[in-house]
Amino acid sequence: MTATGIREPSVGTAGRPHRPVRPARVVLHLFLGVVAVGWLFPILWAVLTSLRSYDYTARNGYVSLGGWTLDNYTTAWKTAEFGKHFLNSVYITVPAVLLTLFLASCVAFVIARFSWKLNIVLLGLFTAANLLPQQALLIPLFRLFTQVPLPEWMSDSELLYDSYWGLILVNVAFQCGFCVFVLSNYMKALPHELYEAAMVDGASVWRQYWQVTMPLCRPALAALATLEVTWIYNEFFWATVLMRTGDKFPVTSSLNNLRGEFFTDNNLVSAGSVLVAIPTLVIFFLLQKQFVRGLTLGASKG
């Protein structure tokens, strides 16, 4: 998170002309520093609050120091049953991300590899689907999900509604568009000669996809996987409306239930918030490059 790796601009050999003089630089750094700290502040405040006891802050106010404790975390974990909800998030996020990447890469491969006239229509259908407001599709989807039966071993509601399957499908359908868009652009940039060589060797279309194209797309796939994990983990709306049983909510949507329980205790609210944020923060700090690359690869995503 420091300046390491960033090119040190040496005065005189600057890459760009008209480098401002020193005082301007100082003002710039001051400004950016204040903004950056201001931006981090709400998150740091949540962490700070989560580490203090309710009694202490109730007595001395939140603008004080002291009362350090980790109890809020254990209490929040137990009351809100975070273990269970994290597991629900895993059940939904992992299959949804894998399925999204697989299906999207199939479509993207066909779009990039063959030039049918319908390609542009296909690309438009997928990309636009990702940008539609989800609430505008809620009514028919809600009805549909309550009508589609599932066997009991798949869903104890015996419906697509209130099942992990339903949420996985709806997340895949919505996220496919973004991945198709990014991957097809990426695949179009691969050299044609690869496929010529593959065809000379008699490789089938499937082999050209699976053994030639996919390995070359690893960087894009890694970037998209990182991004999709955070998006689907953060997904709130579909889980809220297409799930009924509180026990089956993924962690982001279970937040809504927690609110009532924690309402009077901000220290618990903050501990809960930090717990929910941890997986995305870990991913972000470990795979920051991938995350940013993913977002800017498409430079889209509404």
Query: Rule CB under 8 A: which of 72-131 touch another protein?
Result: 103-104, 106-107, 109-110, 112-120, 122-129, 131
Q: Is-contact 172 185, C-beta < 8 A?
A: no
The whole-angstrom distance between residue 212's C-alpha and the CA centroid of its chain comes to 28
Which residue from 12, 23, 61, 151 is in contact with another protein, where contact means CB under 8 A? Answer: 61
Neighbours of 8 (CB within 10 A): 5
Q: Does 62 bind another protein (CB under 8 A)?
A: yes
User: Under rule CB under 8 A, which residues in 280-299 are in contact with another protein?
Assistant: 280-281, 283-284, 288, 291-292, 295-296, 299
Residue 20 CB, shortest distance to another protein, in Å, is 8
Say how many C-beta atoms besides its own lie within 10 A of residue 134's C-beta: 13
Cα dihedral 108, 110, 115, 121 sign: negative
DSSP, collapsed to helix, strand or coil, labels residue 188 as: helix
Residue 177 binding another protein, by CB under 8 A = yes
Shortest Cβ distance from residue 32 to another protein (Å)?
5
Site string for another protein, 202-241 (x = CB under 8 A): --xxx--x--------------------x--xxxxx--xx
What part of residues 21-60 is at the interface with another protein (CB under 8 A)? Answer: 25, 28-29, 31-33, 35-37, 39-40, 42-43, 45-46, 49, 57
Instruction: Taking the CA atoms of 48, 252, 248 and 176 in sequence, report the sign of the dihedral they define.
Output: negative
Q: Does 243 bind another protein (CB under 8 A)?
A: no
Nearest one of 122, 124, 145, 130 to 100, comparing CA atoms:
130
Q: Using CB under 8 A, which of 75, 93, 213, 252 touches another protein?
A: 252
Q: Hey, what amino acid is at 144?
A: L
Locate 85 and state its tokens: 């909800």
For residue 97, the Cα-to-chain-centroid distance in whole angstroms is 10
Which residues in 135-154 contact another protein (CB under 8 A)? Answer: 135-144
Closest to another protein by CB, 5 or 152? 5
Nearer to another protein, 83 or 124 (CB): 124
Q: How many CB atoms lie within 10 A of CB 87?
A: 13
